[in-house]
């Protein structure tokens, strides 16, 4: 078992969720149950799956949940691109988020690889 609160990747994922929630507050109200909700679910899934995996007994189980978190980052990235294309958010606002997503993907990938040794 790992202490998720000590994992840098978990802390950064929580920070990302906070940032994304703030940005989606500016989305049109008509999207409240559409894209806004999908984006929020995806971003919360990242830190939540890291935490759940860290609480499991084996490295194999931890890796499984890390893979889910990894996939949620790709889902989030896609949804943010769609939001930008629809004019819900300026490209300038999502660019730093896309950079953070890429960094988190790298961190999770390395963590997965370290679990399979």
- Tens of pLDDT along 49-73? 999 999 998 989 999 999 999 999 9
DSSP, residue by residue, 40-59: HHHHHHHHHHHHHHHTSSSH
Q: Under CATH, domain 4-115 is a member of which superfamily?
A: 23S rRNA-intervening sequence (1.20.1440.60)
- Tens of pLDDT along 72-114? 999 999 999 999 999 999 889 999 999 999 999 999 999 999 9
Model pTM above 0.85 = yes
Selection from 20, 75, 85, 86 nearest residue 49 by Cα: 75
φ, ψ of residue 34 to 5 degrees: the values are -110, -110
Say if residue 116's pLDDT is above 80: no
For the chain, domain boundaries: 4-115
User: Given the structure tokens 């691109």, which residue do they identify?
Assistant: 81
């Amino acid at each position: 078992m790992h202490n998720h609160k000590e994992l840098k990747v978990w802390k950064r994922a929580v920070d990302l969720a906070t940032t994304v929630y703030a940005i989606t507050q500016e989305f049109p109200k008509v999207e409240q149950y559409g894209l806004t909700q999908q984006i929020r679910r995806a971003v919360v899934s990242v830190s939540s799956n890291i935490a759940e995996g860290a609480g499991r007994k084996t490295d194999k189980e931890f890796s499984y949940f890390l893979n889910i978190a990894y996939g949620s980052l790709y889902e989030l990235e896609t949804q943010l691109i769609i939001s930008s294309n629809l004019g819900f958010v300026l490209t300038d606002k999502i660019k730093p988020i896309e950079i953070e997503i890429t960094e988190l993907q790298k961190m999770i990938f390395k963590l997965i690889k370290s679990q399979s040794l």
